[in-house]
């Protein structure tokens, strides 16, 4: 199974995608450098994705800053040791706090090994993650891409990706998640690189960074 670990892997993926789908050649040319943005696998990386979901970058940075000031780089055991109402001080929603607690509990008791998910197939890894209440496909897919290094994952539920595909192919309406998942199958086994490409293309066209991890 291919793992993305550096810019050279992204470059290889882009070259392959240009052959797989010639429509992407012009998009690659217009976009320029495609960011890698990898984080270490583990609870801290997963926590950062959850904190950043559905809030502005500034809000996510502020919440993350308060968390790290309290417990350092978040580890599962440290998170579980927080005071019950600490999430309010951090600025987390109750739902995100509960999800983090469930993930931390699973990591601490050994039922979830976030590091080893890089070695699992995307299907197996996604099944393990989404079995935890509060973890949906988008969160799991983004973790596998940016912390696990999986090369063939495409978060089709991401609104910016949907908008980017519509922009790239001259469509008036962005595709729904199921439609985009079907279309993205063409970009196997480099769907994670295709996703990075479309996020980067969206940033070029809209002047807004929509990548779900900084």
- For 78-129, the pLDDT digits (tens) are 999 999 899 999 999 999 999 999 999 999 999 999 999 888 999 999 999 9
CATH number of the domain at 161, please: 1.10.1670.40
The 10s digit of each residue's pLDDT in 166-185 is 999 999 999 999 999 999 99
pLDDT band at 133 (very low <50, low <70, confident <90, very high): very high
Q: Are residues 163 and 90 in the same domain?
A: no
pLDDT band at 151 (very low <50, low <70, confident <90, very high): very high
The domain total for the chain is 2
Residue 211 has pLDDT above 90, yes or no: no
Question: Across all residues in the chain, what is the average pLDDT?
Answer: 95
Entry pTM: 0.94
Q: Give the domain-ending residue among 115, 146, 177.
A: 146
pLDDT number for residue 22? 98
Q: Mapped to the 3 state alphabet, what secondary structure does the chain carry?
A: CCECCCHHHHHHHHHHHHHHCCCHHHHHHHHCCCCCCCCCCCHHHHHHHHHHCCCCHHHHHHHHHHHHHHHCCCCHHHHHCCCCCHHHHHCCCHHHHHHHHHHHHHHHCCCCCCHHHHHCCHHHHHHHHHCCCCCCHHHHHHHHHHCCCECCCCCCCCHHHHHHHHHHCCCCCCCCHHHHHHHHHHHCCCHHHHHHHHHHHHHHHHCCCCCCCC
pLDDT number for residue 56? 86
Residue 1 has pLDDT above 90, yes or no: no
Residue 15 lies in domain: 7-38+152-206
Is position 23 within any domain?
A: yes
Mean of the pLDDT values across residues 6-21? 97
pLDDT number for residue 105? 97
Is position 131 within any domain?
A: yes
pLDDT band at 55 (very low <50, low <70, confident <90, very high): confident
């Amino acid at each position: 199974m291919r793992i993305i670990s550096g810019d050279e892997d992204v470059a290889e993926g882009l070259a392959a995608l240009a052959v797989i789908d010639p429509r992407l050649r012009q998009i690659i040319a217009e976009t320029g450098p495609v960011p890698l943005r990898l984080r270490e696998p583990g609870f801290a990386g997963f926590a950062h994705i959850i904190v950043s979901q559905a809030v502005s970058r500034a809000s996510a940075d502020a919440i993350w800053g308060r968390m790290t000031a309290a417990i350092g780089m978040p580890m599962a055991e440290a998170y579980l040791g927080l005071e019950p109402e600490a999430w309010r001080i951090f600025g987390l929603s109750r739902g995100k706090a509960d999800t983090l607690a469930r993930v931390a509990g699973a990591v601490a008791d050994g039922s979830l090994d976030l590091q080893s998910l890089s070695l699992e197939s995307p299907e197996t890894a996604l099944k393990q993650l989404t079995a935890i209440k509060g973890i949906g496909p988008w969160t799991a897919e983004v973790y596998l891409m940016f912390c696990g290094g999986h090369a063939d994952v495409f978060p089709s539920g991401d609104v910016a990706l949907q908008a980017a595909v519509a922009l790239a192919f001259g469509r008036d309406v962005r595709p729904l998640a199921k439609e985009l998942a079907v279309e993205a199958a063409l970009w196997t086994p480099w769907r994670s690189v295709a996703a990075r490409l479309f996020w980067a293309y969206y940033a070029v066209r809209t002047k807004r960074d929509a990548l779900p991890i900084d």
